[in-house]
Amino acid sequence: MTTDSGAGRLDLPGTPIFDGDTSRRGLRMNKLFMSLRDAGNRERFAADEAAYCRGFGLTAEQEKAVLDRDWQAMIDLGGSIFYVYKLAMMDGRSMQYLGGVFTGMGEDDFLAAMRAGGRRDG
């Protein structure tokens, strides 16, 4: 991560931490995701995604991540998984699909690993 807020910051491998710095960086993008709960907003987003992103004041990096559906980049740029998931749902993507992306396993192998009891550390 690019920022550091000192005391108490957690650093666990492979584990995004949605702390204050992250939330501040991602606020505009997360607000965009939140807006997608509304059908009218989903239509406006679909009609011109880039314009919709600019309307919410996303950074150029965030806008690119959204337009490219770069899910890992959205998380890295301050997205909360619960907010990012709203865009994924709009695209018909499941949490298992996202798990396949984040782990590099692909959806089918990720789902198989979950059905086999889930993944372990190490």
Q: What does the binding site for another protein look like in residue numbers (CB under 8 A)?
A: 8, 10, 12-20, 23, 27, 30-31, 33-34, 36-37, 42, 75, 80-86, 89-90, 95-96, 98-99, 102-104, 110, 113-115, 117-121
CB closer to another protein out of 53 and 79: 79
Whether the Cβ atoms of residue 70 and residue 88 lie closer than 8 Å to each other: no
**Nearest-approach distance from CB 49 to another protein, in angstroms:** 16
Spatial separation of the C-alpha atoms in residues 60 and 78, rounded to whole Å: 13
**Nearest-approach distance from CB 13 to another protein, in angstroms:** 7
CB closer to another protein out of 53 and 71: 71
- Three-state DSSP class for 89? helix
> How large is the angle between the packed helices 20-35 and 39-47, nearest 10 degrees?
90
**Nearest-approach distance from CB 60 to another protein, in angstroms:** 21
Q: CA of 92: how far to CAs of 11, 74, 80, 96, in Å? A: 32, 17, 18, 12
